[in-house]
Amino acid sequence: MKQPISITAISSISPLGYDSETIWKNYLSGHHFFSELDGSLVAQLPKDAKKEIETLRNSNSKYKQLDDSVLFGIYSARKAVKSASWNTEDNFGINIGSSRGATGLFETYFKDFLKRNKAKTLSSPTTTLGNISSWIAHDLQTKGPEISHSITCSTALHAIINGVAWLQSGLTDKFLVGGSEAPLTPFTIAQMKALKIYSEETDNTPCKALDFNKTKNTMILSEAAATACLESGKSDNALAQIIGIGYGTELLEHNASLSTNADCFQRSMAMALGDLNPGDIDIIVTHTPGTIKGDLAEFNAIQSIFCNKIPALTTNKLKVGHSLGASGLLSIEMAILMLNHQTFIDIPYLEQSHPKKISKIMINAVGFGGNAVSILLSK
């Protein structure tokens, strides 16, 4: 990287809550945030967060026809921009992506089409994948570039490296990045179950991310959105600095799985490290969705890069499941909270040493298609 990039604000709305104090408190708690929805375990927004979204939906007649993924994005974007003290004159760029996009709204429109053999007027513009960034730009009244992409579960971290590229190019000095996902719909859950990766556990840890002794897949879907404000250089009010970025793609062995040693992760982590000593990394916030092959492949990649000095490993998925395209930004938020509180969020069933001081954290994400991203943060 030519220069560090500052994260000057971050905001999320997820099963953990929608304010940093509550989110941190819930990370420190000893319980998960899963509940049952139509016979399946999911991670839903808490009731007060749902009320916030409904208030937003009813605040503008145009917003009543938007998908939850768009509203989640608008809500988190508003809070992030306010926290960073940005204004419309800044003309900052926006890149808020999604793996699935307007899934719930699309399913509703399609059911109606099957009944009437006729599509509703707004079915196309309200379900396109670029919908989220466009509506956020409308809501914030910005005039900068609007981008939205879908790169499965690494979408949000791809948004970060895209934002970094814009900032390093000098075309703009501020970029709003993130991901939003509202996948708790019948068809989306059915798709995950068809892949035989969905959790059927009934104990206290139904998602066993980073449990390398599990004998069943334990992925659980979650809804969430998270956005971060990026600024060029070292800012006095930075929550963290991005000091390394990496990406990697590998040839597919299977449509929905990584290679045994996750070659894409090895490439992304090595690129993010650059000239740094791997031993300087204190923590890795892993992608580990709770599947047998996915979790182990990432761990094999970590072993290949870090050898005998593996950093402390953690993940938020055993608490809030997998929010697909938004998950990488939730992991970034978790890392920032650990950096600023100087407290490691441990995995109860993983035997490992805890860092005495937290200085550098790596965050991983990967999605169907073998596309990995690694981001390196420091305080």
Sequence spans of domains, the chain: 5-232, 243-378
**pLDDT for the residue numbered 254:** 59
Q: What is the pLDDT of residue 256?
A: 56
Give residue 114's pLDDT: 96
Of the chain, the percentage scoring pLDDT greater than 90 comes to 89
Q: What is the pLDDT of residues 156-167, one digit of tens each?
A: 999 999 999 999
pLDDT tens digits, 227-253: 999 999 999 999 999 999 999 998 776
Task: State the average pLDDT over residues 328-356.
Answer: 96
d(CA 152, CA 130) in angstroms, rounded, equals 14
Distance of alpha carbon 49 from alpha carbon 65, whole angstroms = 19
Overall CATH class of domain 243-378: alpha beta
Residue 236: which residues within 8 A CB-CB, separation 6 or more? none
pLDDT given for residue 89 in this prediction:
81
The 3-class SS string of the chain reads CCCCEEEEEEEEEECCECCHHHHHHHHHCCCCCCEEECCEEEECCCHHHHHHHHHHHCCCHHHHHCCHHHHHHHHHHHHHHHHHCCCHHHCCEEEEECCCCCHHHHHHHHHHHHHHCCCCCCCCCCCCCCHHHHHHHHHHCCCCCEECCCECECHHHHHHHHHHHHHHHCCCCEEEEEEEECCCCHHHHHHHHHCCCECCCCCCCCCCCCCCCCCCCCECEECEEEEEEEEEECCCCCCEEEEEEEEEECCCCECCECCCCCHHHHHHHHHHHCCCCHHHCCEEECCCCCCHHHHHHHHHHHHHHHCCCCCEEECCHHHHCECHHHHHHHHHHHHHHHHHHCCCCCCCCCCCCCCCCCCEEEEEEEECCCEEEEEEEEC
Could you tell me if 289 and 295 are in contact, meaning their C-beta atoms sit under 8 angstroms apart?
yes
Q: What is the pLDDT of residues 84-115, one digit of tens each?
A: 999 988 889 999 999 999 999 999 999 999 99
Structure confidence at residue 360 (pLDDT):
98
Q: Nearest CA to 272 among 363, 338, 194, 177?
A: 363
Q: What confidence score (pLDDT) does residue 257 get?
A: 61
Query: What confidence tier does 133 reach under pLDDT thresholds 50, 70, 90?
Result: very high
Burial 304-322 (b: 16+ CB within 10 A, else e): ebbeeebbbbbbbbbbbbb
- 226 strand-pairing partners: 12, 179
Report the pLDDT averaged over residues 194-219: 96
Q: Evaluate whether 330 touches 225 at the Cβ level (below 8 Å).
A: no
Which pTM was predicted?
A: 0.96
How much is the mean pLDDT over the chain? Answer: 95
pLDDT digits (tens, 9 = 90+) for 52-70: 999 999 999 999 999 999 9
Name the percent of the chain lying above pLDDT 70. 98
Q: Which of 22-31, 87-96, 248-257, 320-329 has the lowest mean pLDDT?
A: 248-257
What confidence score (pLDDT) does residue 186 get? 95
Dihedral pair phi/psi, residue 84, rounded to 5°: -85, -5
pLDDT value at 277 more than 80: yes
* pLDDT score, position 253: 66
- The answer to whether 5-232 and 243-378 have equal CATH topology is yes
pLDDT of residue 372: 96
Confidence at 185, pLDDT banded by 50, 70, 90: very high
| Confidence (pLDDT) at 298 | 96
pLDDT at 195 over 80: yes
* CATH top class, domain 5-232: alpha beta
User: What integer pLDDT is reported at residue 129 of this predicted model?
Assistant: 78
